[in-house]
Amino acid sequence: MPTSTPDPADPVFRLHLGGKMAVASTVPLTSREDLSLAYTPGVARVCEAIAADPDLADDYTWVSHTVAVVTDGSAVLGLGNIGPRAALPVMEGKAVLFKQFAGVDAVPICLDTQDVDEIVATVRALAPSFGGINLEDISAPRCFEVERRLDEALPIPVFHDDQHGTAIVVLAALRNAATLLNRKLGDLRVAVSGAGAAGVAVTKMLVAGGVNPDQVVVCDSRGIIGRHRELTGTKAELAETTNADGRQGDITEALRGADVLVGVSGGQIPEAAVAGMAPGGIVFALANPTPEVHPEVAARHVAVVATGRSDYPNQINNVLAFPGVFRGALDARATRITDGMKVAAADAIANVVAESLTPEAIVPSPLDPRVAPAVAEAVAEAARRDGVARR
């Protein structure tokens, strides 16, 4: 097993030596004429043009294809609050994925603060250098306020991938699983295990995609969320909009008769609880590296199983969503990312494999080259339809 101590023979540490990315020029700099065009005096003319018309920055700088990947290091992978410096390898990795899958340039920004006001102020100050902001690995509930305030303040897309990337791919996977089983989304009873950033976003996205909110039950570490509990913030909103039956209890009660389990909590769910689901069910156990229910255990009781891992079929991976979402938003020069754009992204992901569905293949491979272009096109069209595109 790899350890956290650097070992020159370890391929993980060898790959990361010196970092995973670098800055490269897109123009020649081999002559005095090159310098005069790329820098002084030529660059001053471009600056003057942008000063007169700020929208020209989209055409004459990198902002039309560049995003900031911003974290405070408070909720990194399954490692928790490890801080900004330790989060940097993950942010570099995210940036590499942006470039590889969608041709989007991304810059890791790891902030040495976990204060909401400071994060918002810093990102607002940095925003003129970028065409979009990808928030990453910021813990709940602060992540909700950070995203909301930046979305309101900035004229460019702001997207918290831990929330919406996961939610988009879950909706895509559930669409295809329901199709495979000849079910309708509106008829499914859904239990969501986890009420953090991903759980809240998944719930909202499934409802936006056609799941009946009355048929959704969400659990946190204390059990089922409902009006029987004193709650604030996003959990209070969930209590008002889900669990119409007024169920109380733990995840076992939430799963009794349920058609779908979406696990985004990291907590373990006993096999007996899964056995209580309705026949022909669906389990998405997405905690990584240890799913809430082992896929082989889940498969004893349900028809379709997905995880967040690459060594099992049906990997629910954010990389299916975020590169294409930002590519489409940037191409349309969108001012924000709407629910319609997210649903369009989910539909595009689902459609890539819609003609070849099996219980072991309800979503494309993360390496499928068809995904990002399809998502980008769908997102750009939805941006224009929703009135947030500037071209």
Residues labelled as active-site residues: 39, 94
| Residues 6+ positions from 75 with CB-CB distance below 8 Å | 81, 137, 138, 139, 140, 143, 162, 197
Please state, in angstroms and rounded to a whole number, the distance separating the CA atoms of residues 68 and 252.
41
7 labelled binding-site residue: no
Kindly give the pairing relationship between strand 132-135 and strand 216-220. Answer: unpaired
259 labelled binding-site residue: no
The stretches of the chain forming alpha helices (DSSP H) are 11-16, 32-38, 42-52, 57-60, 84-102, 116-126, 142-153, 161-180, 197-209, 233-241, 251-255, 271-275, 295-298, 322-331, 339-352, 371-385
- Which has the closest alpha carbon to 164: 388, 360, 331, 336? 336
136 labelled binding-site residue: yes
176 labelled binding-site residue: no
Q: In the 8-state DSSP scheme, what is residue 278?
A: P
| Residues 6+ positions from 58 with CB-CB distance below 8 Å | 64, 131, 333
137 labelled binding-site residue: yes
Neighbours of 175 (CB within 10 A): 23
Kindly give the pairing relationship between strand 223-224 and strand 216-220. Answer: antiparallel
- Binding-site residue numbers for a divalent metal cation are 136-137, 162
The binding site for (S)-malate consists of 288, 317
Residue numbers in the known binding site are 136-137, 162, 288, 317
